[in-house]
Structure 1
Amino acid sequence: MKDLQRVLLLPGWLNSDPEHWQSLWEQKFGYERVEQADWGWPRRGDWMARLDEVLLADARPAVLVAHSLGCQLVASWAEHSQLTGRVHGALLVAPPDTEAANMPSQLHNWRPIRRSRLPFPSIAVISSDDPFCSHVRGAQMSADWGSRLVEAGACGHLNTASKLGAWPVGQALLAGLRE
């Protein structure tokens, strides 16, 4: 089954830099990054429409691999899109709490957080010391979305600063979703 699927990488706010595990996966495995028109001032509706465009361009089932704001994209998109049947599963890594008081003003249009149960299998990976989401809020989002929760320990925002490299643990989680 996994040979018939495509893997779509959904970076967060400001995109994933070259040393980010998503970028390393793109280089190593040829996964497709969903590019956005504006990484600096992300509009939820625009990002949702872009995901629909990418899914419509290829009828193969997709597995979504989201980091940070990409997780909020998946939750918002799944509430509104007619294309959720094209998604085989989602790996949601370090969802940010966009309702927190310390969120940058560029992310205010990502409020409220969509909390509906996702219509496909998902795994949410959270860190105990993520500066953009408390452990309690991350666990609650995971539960609301119906995601299997994986606790990564003290790994910050699970990004380049976390020094994950190509993140073999994430690769294993993705392999399980693709079966």
Structure 2
Amino acid sequence: MTRTRVDHRTRESGNVRAAFLVAPPDPGGSAFPADAAATFVSVEAQMLRCPSTVVASANDPYATVTSAGALAAAWGSDFRVAGALGHLNAASGIGEWSQGRRLLEGVLTSAVSTGII
């Protein structure tokens, strides 16, 4: 889901109860593929209307920990650094990514225990 869709869906829809956002890129970064990810370029991040967690990698070529943390703060999200795993996606070779599954399960458990979902 692109940054544009995250902002829009959490503000305009009552259906989003929680968000788990992985590897948000930094559109101002030198490695950012502006032509391939144009929807990220001009979006101003604002507080989300649902609980959320952002997960970043310590060595993501598309975003520094600082830029991912700033985006998490702007969204009002919890922030987690998963370690030095490169860009967190299917092409990175992380396979099933058990750490990510545990983080997601924690978000879901919290949402259920607080009655969000």
- Give TM class, smaller chain: 0.7 to 0.9
Give me the CA root mean square deviation. 2.1
Question: For residues 158-169 of structure 1, what are the structure 2 equivalents within 5 Å?
Answer: 158-169=88-99
Letter in 2 for 1:142: A
Determine which structure has the larger strand proportion and give its number.
Answer: 1
Cα shift at 1:149: 0.5
Contact 2:57/2:87 (<8 A) preserved: yes
Greater radius of gyration (CA)? 1
Number of aligned residue pairs: 108
1:129 aligned partner = 59
Cα shift at 1:125: 0.3
Identical columns (%): 33
Q: Any unmatched runs of 5+ in structure 1?
A: 1-69
Question: For residues 123-162 of structure 1, what are the structure 2 equivalents within 5 Å?
Answer: 123-162=53-92
Cα shift at 1:101: 4.3
Letter in 2 for 1:99: G
Q: Is 1:97 paired with 2:26?
A: yes
Which of the residues 2, 13, 17 maps onto 1:88? Answer: 17
Secondary structure of 2:20 counterpart: strand
Q: Any unmatched runs of 5+ in structure 2?
A: 113-117
Distance 1:109 1:158 in 2: 19
The TM-score with structure 1 as length reference comes to 0.53
The TM-score with structure 2 as length reference comes to 0.78
Question: For residues 100-119 of structure 1, what are the structure 2 equivalents within 5 Å?
Answer: 100-104=29-33, 105-119=35-49
Cα shift at 1:135: 1.4
Tell me which of the two structures has the higher relative contact order, counting C-alpha pairs closer than 8 angstroms and 6 or more residues apart: 2
Distance 1:107 1:171 in 2: 26
